[in-house]
Chain A
Amino acid sequence: MKKPPKKSSPAGKRKPGLAGEIKQAASHDRQAKYVLRLYISGSTSKSGLAVENIKRICEQHLKNRYDLEVIDIYQQPNLARDEQIVAVPTLIKRRPPPLRRLIGDMSDLKKVSLGLDLRMRE
């Protein structure tokens, strides 16, 4: 199976320090850094769609301040257990708090932005 493309912001590889974290949380959500994990299962159409959709949304609204990792639970079933993944695709918004789970192919933009607490301008 083709590993889905992984795209993350330059800072995504590095964990932000505690001080930075607090600063980020305190600041406006426009500056807040997003940590997102998308769990998919192989190359199903729903998975592909979800990956496409979430990337577009992130690029549009969270440019340069998001860390998105796409995880194929077929490859790592343990992660599915650890993260309590049942429905697929599932997007987990780890940061900023609160923790949110978005399930489905991310085609409902309104619900995705609601779940990610984004302000839709466009």
Chain B
Amino acid sequence: MAQKKKASQTSFKTLPKAATGIQGLDEITGGGLPRGRPTLVSGGAGSGKTLFGLEFLVRGATQYSEPGVFMSFEESIPDLTKNAASLGFDLERLVADKKLFLDHVSITRTEIEETGEYDLDGLFIRIADAVQRVGARRVILDTIEALFGDLPNPGILRAEIRRLFGWLKQKGLTTVITAERDRPDRLTRHGIEEFVSDCVILLDHRIREEISTRRLRIVKYRGSTHGTNEYPFLIDDQGISVLPISSLGLDHAAPAVRISSGIARLDGMLGGKGFYRGSSILVSGGSGTGKTSVAAHFVDAACRRGERCLFFAFEESPRQIVRNMRSIGIDLDPWVRKGLLLFQAARPTYGGIEQHLLVTHRCIASFHPSVVVVDPVTNLLMVSTLNEVRSMLTRLVDFLKTEGITAIFTSLTAAGGALEASEADVSSLMDSWLLLESIEVGGERNRALLVLKSRGMEHSNQIREFLLTDDGLRLLDVYLGPEGVLTGSARVSQEVREKAAGTARLQEQGSRRRELERKRRIFEARMAMLRAEFEAEAEIIQQTISESESLGEEMVQDRGRMVRSRKADTSAYKKEGRAKAARKR
């Protein structure tokens, strides 16, 4: 991508280009058509050649201040004006403002007799005069090959047309020459492409499976790199739009801001904070798995934050969606009335894939939402091939990311199919992928949700059962059984079992506690007994001690009584006592 950009930039220096103003074309050509040179636009009847020329001219006059001259060799001026009006171009005003000059070249073959050599000076002079009148920088010759039917002597005519192209180039006029392609093996009826060496664009209009698609291819662009693919394009009331409208690139900003999914427990599964703002989220699942409900939650949350949401409904009508979401407790109606939520509903078959992409772009550009829902993106497969849908989604995702818009794409997977494989193509574009599954166990079907991937964040790897309740989508606790996640009745019975086990545990705890209490009481009782014994013994011992003390006293008293009774010489004891005291001194 960077290489391509670089290449077109360098070529821009060497080869000046005139911007066409046609949506998407300037991206493919790296800036427009070769300035001051002729470009051949070839295509079958009704392929949009004239409108191509008209738009190139009108955009030049209105957007790039390059007035133009339209030389019409087929349509009359009133017809041309009318056709241009269908694209929203007011030719009459542009002519009045001298920004445009229209000239209808009409010759009736039957009136003409060739009497000798002639040239196309009449045409030269008319163009020169017209160019001078409005100061034209651009010229359209639509379809100059018509002259071959009007004028005799093709030899002279070819030489003159060659001279005309040379003259236009010399005058520095950016010219678009349209030509009818009648056979697939050649670009123009009369081989005038050999005079146009600079740029050749091929337009094609084909019908496949009742859906018409227009395609544009740059066959040749000398001195410039260009996209070589076939690009789908549309013609509607805003002119031609070549897809891609936006160029492909991977240089969009990556905000780190997280926004809630609107389901609290889902946010929990997404690292606790929800999705990244500006990311693209795929919600895939079989029918009836709740994809739209997940999207509605997200929308509801966004509207609560005051953000604008654009809801592309390819399956249900807006009223139906509002009613159905009300049944799960999400009321979208107030958001619609507040102008925060806009539904864009259409059956996918009403137009080709390009039409859808274009409408999508236009809606987003005019509504400026911060959240976009495409529900379901798989319905687009009805109108196109997987390849084209992928290409469209790539463009769309790219565009949304550039705009910083968070997008939810729901995707309907075929029941029983290889769920993940079938969407591998689309999923690689997505940042987050929520997989909604129906788990069939024990004769019932239950919904489960899995965050299959979510770039740049930690996310839960659990498969979670959820219920769609009156109060919205409710994620349930996880019950793992021997065969995986338990859902529905299996979960309920597991819940009951766990409850029973819990009660038993409680009872056991109770009895253990009681036993402990008993043991403590026994212990305390024993303690009390021991204490009592000890106290009893201690009392006896104390008694003995005090008995023996009183016995000692009695003995002393008894001895005194005996002395007295024997009338012993107590003074001798006294003398002895004094002598002892004297010695001590």
Which of A's residues lie within 8 Å of B, judged by CB?
A: 39, 41-42, 44, 46, 49-50, 53, 73-74, 77-78, 80-81, 84-91, 98-108, 111-112, 114-115
Are A103's CB and B115's CB within 8 A?
yes
In the A-B complex, the 10 residue pairs with the closest CB atoms: A104-B116, A77-B129, A41-B121, A85-B122, A115-B113, A105-B116, A88-B121, A107-B116, A104-B115, A87-B118
Are B111's CB and A101's CB within 8 A?
yes
Residues of A within 8 A of B125 (CB): 41, 73-74, 77, 80
- B235 on the A face (CB < 8 A): no
Which of B's residues lie within 8 Å of A, judged by CB?
A: 103, 105-107, 111-126, 128-129, 147, 150-152
In Å, the complex CA distance between A101 and B129 comes to 23
Q: What would 15 more interface pairs be, CB under 8 Å, given A81-B129, A115-B115?
A: A42-B121, A44-B121, A46-B119, A49-B116, A80-B129, A85-B122, A86-B122, A86-B150, A87-B120, A87-B151, A88-B121, A91-B115, A98-B111, A105-B115, A108-B115
A77-B129, A81-B103, A103-B151 are contacts. A87–B122 as well, Cβ < 8 Å? yes
CB within 8 Å: A-B pair count = 104
Are B113's CB and A114's CB within 8 A?
yes
CB distance from B447 to the nearest CB of A (A): 74
In Å, the complex CA distance between A23 and B568 comes to 214
Are A111's CB and B122's CB within 8 A?
no
Looking at chain B's contact residues, is the secondary structure mostly helix, strand, loop, or mixed? mixed
In Å, the complex CA distance between A39 and B119 comes to 12
List 9 interface pairs A-B (beta carbons < 8 Å), by A numbering: A41-B122, A77-B129, A88-B118, A88-B121, A102-B113, A102-B114, A103-B115, A108-B116, A111-B114
CB distance from B400 to the nearest CB of A (A): 51
Looking at chain A's contact residues, is the secondary structure mostly helix, strand, loop, or mixed? mixed
Are B106's CB and A84's CB within 8 A?
yes
Residues of A within 8 A of B123 (CB): 86
| Chain B residue at smallest Cβ distance from A83 | B122
Residues of B within 8 A of A42 (CB): 121
Are A101's CB and B113's CB within 8 A?
yes
B103, B114, B121, B129: most-surrounded residue (chain A CB, <10 A)? B121
In Å, the complex CA distance between A104 and B153 comes to 11
Residues of A within 8 A of B112 (CB): 101-103
Are A100's CB and B113's CB within 8 A?
yes
A49, A86, A106: most-surrounded residue (chain B CB, <10 A)? A86
CB distance from B515 to the nearest CB of A (A): 119
| Chain A residue at smallest Cβ distance from B105 | A86
Are B105's CB and A104's CB within 8 A?
no
Are B120's CB and A88's CB within 8 A?
yes
Residues of B within 8 A of A108 (CB): 114-116
Residues of B within 8 A of A99 (CB): 111
In Å, the complex CA distance between A99 and B147 comes to 20
| Chain A residue at smallest Cβ distance from B153 | A104
| Chain B residue at smallest Cβ distance from A47 | B121
Are A84's CB and B105's CB within 8 A?
yes
CB distance from A80 to the nearest CB of B (A): 5
In Å, the complex CA distance between A80 and B121 comes to 10
Residues of B within 8 A of A111 (CB): 113-115
Residues of B within 8 A of A91 (CB): 115
